[in-house]
């Protein structure tokens, strides 16, 4: 639902356009549910669109480079035979002023897999904008 409401606010869809988009994307919804959502849009549209217009634009960082490499921890002070895999991630990010900073961090394989799925989720959300 967030995808359609965000798109509707951003594009300032009329009630009719919103209804059409809702039916296209959520044809599986029972008719009564669709009617309730459409009614809420009709009632709240003006205030939501107004909030979008008033929202300050924040300077967001831009990902310049993303590199990763797989490694194996062979030993540590407390363990002579560790043999534990890890991933080193190196990011280059430019801030709103164009200043580039490099961030490097290590993760376990499970953490990296979670990180990867979160990046995929963010990418799919960003595609709606």
In tens, the pLDDT along 52-101 reads: 655 555 556 788 999 999 998 777 677 666 778 999 999 999 987 888 99
The band of 113, judged by pLDDT with boundaries at 50, 70 and 90, is: very high
Sheet strand arrangement including 100-107: 62-73, 84-94, 100-107
Q: What is the mean pLDDT of residues 14-25?
A: 80
The CATH fold of domain 58-127: Nuclear Transport Factor 2; Chain: A, (3.10.450)
Which residue in 102, 100, 82, 81 sits closest to 91, CA to CA? 102
**pLDDT at residue number 72:** 87
Q: Which of 62, 57, 55 is nearest to 96 (CA)?
A: 62
Enumerate the CATH 3.10.450 domain ranges in the chain, comma separated. Answer: 58-127
Higher-pLDDT residue of 102, 14? 102
Structure tokens at 49: 């669109």
For the beta carbon of residue 49, count every other beta carbon within 10 angstroms: 16
What pLDDT, on a 0 to 100 scale, did the predictor assign at position 57? 52
Residue 129 in this model has a pLDDT that exceeds 70? no
pLDDT score for 128: 74
pLDDT at 5 over 70: no
Which residue has better confidence, 102 or 96? 102
H-run or E-run covering 2: helix 2-10
Averaged pLDDT of the chain: 79
């Amino acid at each position: 639902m967030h995808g359609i409401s965000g798109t509707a606010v951003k594009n300032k869809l009329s009630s009719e356009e919103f209804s059409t988009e809702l039916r296209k994307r959520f044809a599986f919804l029972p008719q009564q549910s669709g009617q309730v959502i459409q009614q809420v849009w009709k009632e709240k549209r003006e205030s939501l669109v107004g909030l979008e217009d008033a929202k300050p634009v924040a300077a967001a960082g831009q990902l310049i480079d993303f590199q990763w490499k797989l490694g194996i921890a062979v030993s540590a002070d407390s363990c002579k035979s560790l043999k534990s895999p890890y991933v080193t991630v190196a990011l280059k990010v430019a801030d709103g002023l164009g200043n580039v900073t490099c961030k490097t961090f290590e993760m376990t394989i499970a953490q990296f897999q979670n990180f990867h799925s979160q990046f995929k989720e963010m990418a799919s959300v960003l595609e709606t904008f």
